[in-house]
A and B are shown apart, each in its own frame.
Chain A
Amino acid sequence: MYIVRRVGLMLITLLAISFATFWIISLPPGDYVSTLVAQAETRGESISAERIAALRDRYGLNDPFLVQYWKWISNIVFHGDFGESFAWNRPVSTLIWDRVGLSFFLSVSTLLLVWAIAFPIGIYSAVKQYSPGDYVATFFGFVGMAVPEFMLALIFLYIGVRFFNQSAGGLFSPEYVDAVWNLGKVLDLASHLWLPVLIISISGTAGLIRVTRANLLDELYKPYVVTARAKGLPEWKLLLKYPVRMSLSPFFSTVGWLLPGLISGETIISIVLSLPTTGPLLFGATESQDMYLVGSFVLILSALTVVGTLLSDIALAWWDPRIRHRYQGS
């Protein structure tokens, strides 16, 4: 029952988002077709009047705002048609779809690495507060948060070129870029992937260590921990079962927000290292004001955000019985 109501709310939010997105799309002066025509003219080509008329009709450019909006959203919902990118002259959906796989792969591997490193260190750092290990972790945390990601990427690029004489950009060596998938290509990918994964992980890890440490410190000296200790529980068992479990609640309440990030990937790093993920695509689109592409991105990411929020709430209810019972009560 609760979930049904939440889904209803979600649909309303999505509607609002789609309006906002369409508004952003229509912000830049001139519409899609006139941009297209202007572009063609700069190249010295011309587009036939029929084609222009057909395109104007396709996007409803002669219609009032609401009709335009309806044409746009109904095409997306019923046909999966996000419109055309004028910069690429290809459907937006294929453009995005081509790159989602790699973005997803990159984000997931980064995320797993960040969790695997940051949680244990954060827990250690909290339990051994003010120990040398804690100071090292804290120092690393501060440094990691103060270096902009793209700086890290630049530094690694520089080190790669200067000392190892190899270019660190891209995900594939030139000979594999257009090759079909085989073992060689997979290995080639792996040999290129570790660097972006490492760079993205550094800042993420630094932040998560700080958060884990602070959240756990909030819980570590609560009375229920003393109770559990008074039972005679061994320290490490006690730690994992009680304070760590409690300190993860905020984590679960935001875990769904990772969803849009999985698709959008690490935009800046991808641009600097020229990785074929969705980030640079979006970036290029904003630069050239390729608004259908930008709008589609915003719409997809926002939709994922809304879905992610719902997933977060469900995850939190599963994790924390207090939340679960509050929902059942209402």
Chain B
Amino acid sequence: MLQTPTSDQAPARRVALDAPLVLKLDGLRTQFVLDDGVVEAVEGVDLEMRRGETLAVVGESGCGKSVMARSILQLVDRPGRIVGGQVWVPRPPAEAVASRRRPGLLRRGRPEPVQQEDGPEGMVNLIGAEPEMIRAVRGKRIAMVFQEPMTSLSAVHTVGNQIIEAIQLHEPMSKEAARERAVDLLRRVGIAGPEKRIDTYPFQLSGGMRQRVMIAMALSCGPELLIADEPTTALDVTTQAQILELLAELREDLGMAIMLITHDLGVAARLADSVAVMYLGRVVERGELAEIFRSPRHPYTQALLRSVPKLGRRRGERLAPVRGMVPHPYARPSGCTFRDRCDHFIPGSCDTALPPLIRDEQGHEVRCVLYKEDDR
């Protein structure tokens, strides 16, 4: 299932540390209240993303990476609920928010927007913000691409209809102009004969084409951040490579940041500058891509990398899967949640308290008791 991550790595791209922030998560927490208990899908995630940066969020299925991504735009369906933390994004222009407000009756009984606490300069917290504020960000500033291009597009509307809708939501322009723009977008994402394709229905397109349509739709309003939630998982390997190439190209052209959610370290390696490794709702390690691949620090990251086949591996050498099983979500181990599967388990230390986040001077962060603040 995993591709070789090291064979064809793009040259490491460096993101200027002073580039403006496009997203800042502070202790984001999302729960699923189910009949038999509460699942903490996301448990206090802190992340920062800067303009032009590509961050890969990797982890096993069920580690909460997808829920985390959806929580950013508050797209978590019931019974999921965001219960804490902040999502900071650049504040949209006041008129973009005001124009969405409906006057009079419909607004009655709606709570006044929460008074914003102190955050980064020029940014706004989406959690608890008025719906108009969230909608002004969705699609315009932050766009999303989903895993299943088949089910994520409406089957009863033409692709043109769905793209034009996205454009007209955020940009005041005529239908004709929007249609022209949609054709351009389709051409830009590599769809041949866009003038004809724009009037087709999603079920008439191949999986790869559909994913291109999804990307075109996400790009329609020039977002600063594109969240791609497993964008290539449902596609075959060749198409997967094409889509990744397309994303890389678009990133260079448009200068947007990309958050790539994937379980596939190979995919992460091809596109990302930095990596955040998630385990059971927490980021356990975060750093630059090359750094993490070269010298992973958290035992979980190390185990993950060992489980990936590499070119040049000696014959007869066996792949080592991550030991044990993901603990049941209702019964997470105390302390470090990885301790049951960890080769370096230290009784009395790992099982008592959540290890603190350790950060070195390169900005490589890890949450593990094996490392100390001064230890390098």
**Chain A residues near B (Cβ < 8 Å):** 221-224, 226-235, 241-242, 245-246, 319-322, 325
Report yes or no: A322 in contact with B155, Cβ–Cβ below 8 A. Answer: yes
Chain A residues with CB under 8 A of B204:
325
Taking the closest CB of chain B, its distance from the CB of A144, in whole angstroms, is 27
Leading 5 A-B pairs by shortest Cβ distance: A232-B138, A232-B139, A231-B139, A232-B135, A223-B152
In the complex, B372 has a CB within 8 A of chain A: no
Residues on B with beta carbons closer than 8 Å to the beta carbon of A230 = 73, 75, 138-139, 143-144
Count A/B pairs, Cβ under 8 Å.
Answer: 75
Say whether B156 contacts A245, CB under 8 Å.
Answer: yes
Cross-chain contact B75 with A226 (CB below 8 angstroms): yes
Determine how close the nearest CB of chain B comes to the CB of A309; give it in whole angstroms: 22
The residues of A that contact B162 with a CB separation of less than 8 Å are 228
Query: Given known contacts A221-B77, A229-B75, is B156 in contact with A322 (CB within 8 Å)?
Result: yes
- Given contacts A229-B75, A232-B169, whether A224 and B201 have CB atoms under 8 Å apart is no
On chain B, the residues within 8 Å of A319 by CB distance are 156
When the two chains form their complex, are residues A222 and B151 in contact, meaning their CB atoms are under 8 A apart?
A: yes
With beta carbons under 8 angstroms apart, the residue of B138, B139, B156 that contacts A320 is B156
Distance, CA A223 to CA B148, complexed state (A): 8
**A245 contacts across to B, CB distance below 8 A:** 156
A–B pairs, 24, beta carbons within 8 Å: A223-B146, A224-B152, A224-B153, A226-B70, A226-B75, A226-B146, A227-B144, A227-B153, A227-B154, A227-B214, A228-B154, A229-B75, A231-B166, A231-B217, A232-B138, A232-B140, A232-B169, A233-B135, A233-B169, A241-B157, A242-B154, A320-B156, A321-B201, A322-B203
Which among B131, B156, B170 has the highest number of chain A CB atoms within 10 Å? Answer: B156
> Which of chain A's residues have a CB closer than 8 A to the CB of B203?
322, 325
- Residue tally, chain B, CB below 8 Å to A: 35
A223-B151, A321-B156, A325-B201 given; name 7 further pairs at CB < 8 Å. A227-B152, A228-B154, A231-B217, A232-B135, A233-B135, A233-B169, A246-B154
Which interface residue of A228, A231, A320 has the most chain B CB atoms within 10 A? A231
> In the complex, A246 Cα to B151 Cα: how many Å?
13
| Chain B residue at minimal CB-CB distance from A229 | B75
What residue in chain B is nearest A234 (Cβ atoms)? B135
**A226, B169: Cβ atoms closer than 8 Å:** no
B residues near A221, Cβ cutoff 8 Å: 77-78
The secondary structure that dominates the A interface is helix
* C-alpha spacing A235/B214, complex, angstroms: 20
- Closest A residue to B142 by CB, please name it: A230
Which chain B residues lie closer than 8 Å to A228 at the CB level?
154, 162
Query: Which residue in B138, B140, B157 is a CB contact (below 8 Å) of A229?
Result: B138
Q: How long is the Cα–Cα vector from A226 to B67 in the complex, in angstroms?
A: 13
Q: A221-B77, A231-B217 are in contact. Are A246 and B148 (CB under 8 A)?
A: no
Per-residue contact bits, chain B 120-153, to A (CB 8 Å; 1 contact, 0 not): 0000000000010001111110011010100111
Residues A226 and B155 in contact, CB atoms below 8 Å apart: no
Query: Is B100 close to A, CB under 8 A?
Result: yes
- A224 near B154 with CB under 8 A, answer yes
Tell me which residues across on chain A come within 8 A of B73, comparing CB atoms: 230
**Residue from the list B77, B131, B201 in contact with A226, Cβ < 8 A:** B77
Task: Return chain B residues, CB-CB under 8 Å to A325.
Answer: 201, 203-204
- Could you say which of A223, A235, A242, A322 contacts B201, with CB atoms under 8 Å apart? A322
Specify which chain A residues have a CB less than 8 angstroms from the CB of B143 in the assembled complex: 230
Output the residue of A227, A234, A320 with the most chain B CB within 10 A. A227
Q: Residue of B at shortest CB range from A249? A: B156
- Contact yes or no, B136 A232, CB < 8 A: yes
B146 / chain A contacts, CB cutoff of 8 Å = 223, 226-227
CA distance A231 to B143 in the complex (A): 7
| B155 and A321 within 8 A (CB) | yes
Q: A233 CA to B203 CA in the complex, in Å?
A: 23
CA distance A222 to B75 in the complex (A): 12
The yes or no answer to B26 lying at the interface (CB within 8 A) is no
Q: How far is the CA of A319 from the CA of B155 in the complex (A)?
A: 12
A194 to B128, CA, bound (A): 48
Q: How far, in whole Å, are A242 and B151 apart by their CA atoms in the complex? A: 12
Determine the distance from Cα of A325 to Cα of B153 in the docked complex, in whole angstroms: 17
Tell which of B100, B136, B152, B217 has the most Cβ of chain A within 10 Å: B152
B158 to chain A: closest CB distance in Å? 8
Enumerate chain A residues within 8 angstroms of B214, measured Cβ to Cβ: 227
Most buried by B among A235, A246, A322: A322
Taking the nearest CB of chain A, how far is it from the CB of B156, in angstroms?
A: 6
B90 to chain A, nearest CB (A): 15
A253 to chain B, nearest CB (A): 14
Task: Given A226-B152, A245-B156, A321-B155, answer yes or no on A231-B75 (Cβ-Cβ < 8 Å).
Answer: no
B residues less than 8 Å from A226 (CB atoms) = 70, 75, 77, 146, 152
